[in-house]
Chain A
Amino acid sequence: MNRLPAPFLFLVLMVISCQGLLAADLDALPEFLRSDPFGAIVAPDRGAANLSSSLYGTQHRIMLTGCRGGYVSFQLVVKLPSPSDYTVDVAIPDRTNKVQIDLFREWFHFTDSDRRYYPDALIPVHGTYSSHLPEPDNRIRQQTAQAFWVDVYIAPDTRPGILSGRAQLKAGAKITILPIQLTVLASIIPGEDVVTIDHNSYGSSWLAQQFATSYQHNPDHWFESEQFFRLIHAYHRLFYEHRGIFHQLGYGHSGKVAPEFAPLLEGSGRAKHITSWSLYDRHYGPLFDGMAFSASRRGSRPIPFVYLPINPEWPASYEFWGEAGYEAEFVNVVSQIERHFREKGWTHTNFEVFFNHKKRYKGFPWDGDEVRFPEDLKYFLEYGRLLKKALPADTPVRFVFRADVSWDMEQQFKMLEGVVQLWCASGGILSFYKDAPKMLRKRGDVIWYYGGPPRVTDSSAAITELPLRAWLWGVNGFVHWLTVSPGEDPWFHFNGGQTALVYSVERFGLNEPIPSIRLKIQRDCLQDLVLLDSFKGDKSLDALRAGAARKYNDSTPDDWWNPRPALADLPSDRWLGSAIDDATKHTRQALRDPGASGWYNVHQYALSLQAEAK
């Protein structure tokens, strides 16, 4: 093989390199269109590709509009056809610092199910981001595009008006600038959500797995360390900043309680009592007084809900179930708990007495979770009695008996009236009982429904269906049953994320969880819902709901309910799981998948109502 002369080779390389840089490009996409690492819109979002130019105004200016007290989000995509270094930054200068930019690099997860890449985890970028394409850590050999999530936060006391800014890409000698125009509307997004979105989790051993380096430094005392509690508070903070709440269940199906979830007990029978609040107060004190959120944009606020460690084996030993000793242990310890909370002034949080166990896990002979067999309800009645006995009638501490219900919910709504105050219902089965939310709320109960996050392989806006359904149904909230478990290798062999909305990122040197695109889209949806709901003085709530459903997927609010099936009149222990699926067919057929543009249309609807109201 003949060797090429060095000057010629240099020239060729220069030409190739310059061509690449000349083609360097910076593009802006709405939040609902996710890019892949090669610059194309991911397949599930392509149906909404017509939105791709929706951000741009004249002169290729990014046009953003947002209410105060919330976020406006969009994405930037850096495109470099050949490997190169680059720098990107975004700024909307605001002398008062009321408008702030949060920039995140989007991680492209390789999903094993379809062998494609999807962005989801959002790695915070502080200031200007400089790197190289292909991104060294994401290890995608042919990568030509890197996406960034941009959150523009508009503080509630921002002055309405227009602000200008720009996004800038530097690649080699080429600089690409996208001008940005932000219109700050006068409306303020209310701080209180109309739909509570809960992010559930179980225990805390997963934290040691996901933050293994930190754990390995101090394996014997890690679960008592400041680092551990800071980490738990960071999870709470992350969900709170995204208009959500976080639950951690502190006991297992046979009643084992992890030490940080309960005060320490000693003694037996009438001598059983609490001896130490040390770990419990370090864990929960900053959450119950709100100080864990003092640095957040939403301000300090006590968490609204929390699981108590109460289960059939705690605080009373199941050895004494049905005997005087059980009652004495339960009543004395729960009374002590009430006193401690009252003395601390922890009167804003709802403390949940909740039974999660199922008999199939062999710990106890009745189902606390999703009761199917009606004879199990006698246990609920007994705990209701014990609780009543333990608590002063005029306690300012909010103890609530919570039941997660599915098969037998209709019976439970009747039989446990006055005992259970917080219901967490299977969405499929609740869809048979259109009158239930109104009936429960009328008597002062709280009703949520549960399910799980969509996969990253679903359309970007799939997650908005869950809060929207809650609002259309008139329930108080929705529970993602598991949100902190991204699987063994979410970075290179992702399972799709049906049990994760946040990620742990020791690999990036961060000792905190980070958000996902789905969590951001859910937050923006919640902002729109609370804004929509705030117009109910001008329009009826029914009309607002009908408008949102129509914009979302051309449905009516009735389409979101299933007709009451014949099986609902049978005892729940005679139902079949497959028959429940059949009975929810109506909504599956009536509700068209809106694809990625569904929520964009609802958002526009909310903005149009805002303009009308003005």
Chain B
Amino acid sequence: MKILPLIASLTFAILATANLSLKEEGSAEMQLELDSLARVGSVMVDGDVCQKIVTERAKQFLFASDPRDEFLAGDNYDVDDAAFNSVKKTLIRLSHLAPFPADVNLWMPIEGHRGKIHLVIRNKNEMSQFWNWGELYGDMAPQMESVLKTGQRITVTSKPGWISVLAPVYNSLGDVVGLIEAVSRVNVDAHENVK
């Protein structure tokens, strides 16, 4: 009779290992898909249009603060809707290249504020490995800085279960003016960020 628990334990261990390796396999596949998507995105997303999205007024107020007006920066955040829509549509179409739920987000550095970056366009799965919900701008992650400097794609899996591929966005001068984050999760949370 003692053998039964042993068999059960072994079966459980085998199934768990198989499940883990399946997950790892799936995750590796997802990385490949996202990398391929980001590679295409790098040539499809128009950096010149991206540079027109955030208005001068929004940029001026991005770092403004007033103790009597805690929402000063956010209340002045504005975008050029034609430029926004044009790039957003491209990002959505890019996300269809993945055979699983994925988002492609646009990030741009902030002129005059080294080390800072802001998310400019998010998408419907509300996924990002870098965005802290609600923030107008944040500190630039080293991987983002690297993409902006080198123009090389980088895969980031810092958060368990998350995969992001960062890829450069170019303008007509050949400058890297931003980056896209092609992102997905091994286990999608249907309720996260519905708020």
Contacts and interface: CB of A to CB of B under 8 A. Distances in A.
Interface of A: 202-205, 208, 223, 249-259, 261, 313, 317-319, 321-322, 358-366, 372-373, 375, 576-578, 581
B71 interface: yes
Contact of B79 (A261, A317, A365, A576): A365
18 contacts: A202-B195, A203-B194, A205-B194, A223-B191, A253-B193, A254-B125, A256-B194, A261-B194, A313-B124, A319-B89, A319-B92, A321-B89, A359-B77, A359-B78, A372-B75, A373-B78, A578-B66, A578-B68
B124 A254 contact: yes
A364 B39 CA distance: 25
Interface in B104-142: 119-126, 134, 136
A461 to B, nearest CB: 28
Contacts of A363: 121-124, 126
Contacts of A253: 122, 126, 193
A577 B84 contact: no
Given A204-B191, A360-B74, A375-B81, 9 more contacts: A203-B191, A223-B191, A252-B126, A252-B195, A254-B125, A256-B125, A256-B193, A359-B78, A360-B77
Nearest to A581: B68
Interface of B: 66, 68-72, 74-75, 77-81, 84-85, 88-89, 92-93, 119-126, 134, 136, 190-195
B66 A318 contact: no
A256 B75 CA distance: 23
A348 to B, nearest CB: 27
A319 B80 CA distance: 17
A322 B92 CA distance: 15
B140 to A, nearest CB: 16
A203 B126 CA distance: 14
Nearest to A362: B122
A313 B78 CA distance: 20
Contacts of B119: 362
A577 B78 contact: no
A249 B193 CA distance: 12
A18 to B, nearest CB: 57
Contacts of B92: 317-319
Contacts of B74: 358, 360
A252 B79 CA distance: 19
A255 B75 CA distance: 21
B193 A252 contact: yes
Contacts of A258: 190-191, 194
Contacts of A204: 191, 194
B126 A578 contact: no
B59 to A, nearest CB: 13
Contacts of A578: 66, 68-69
A160 B191 CA distance: 51
Given A205-B195, A359-B78, A322 B68 contact: no
**9 nearest A-B pairs in the assembled complex, by CB-CB distance:** A577-B69, A365-B84, A203-B194, A365-B81, A578-B68, A319-B92, A202-B195, A205-B191, A360-B77
Contacts of B66: 577-578
Contact of B122 (A205, A361, A373): A361
Given A359-B77, A577-B71, A577-B75, A255 B124 contact: yes
Contacts of B121: 362-363
B123 A254 contact: yes
A142 to B, nearest CB: 38
Contact of A208 (B77, B85, B191): B191
Contacts of A581: 68-69
Contacts of B78: 359, 373
Nearest to B82: A365
Q: Which of B80, B92, B123, B124 has the most CB of A within 10 A?
A: B124
Contacts of B80: 365
Nearest to B105: A362
Nearest to B91: A319
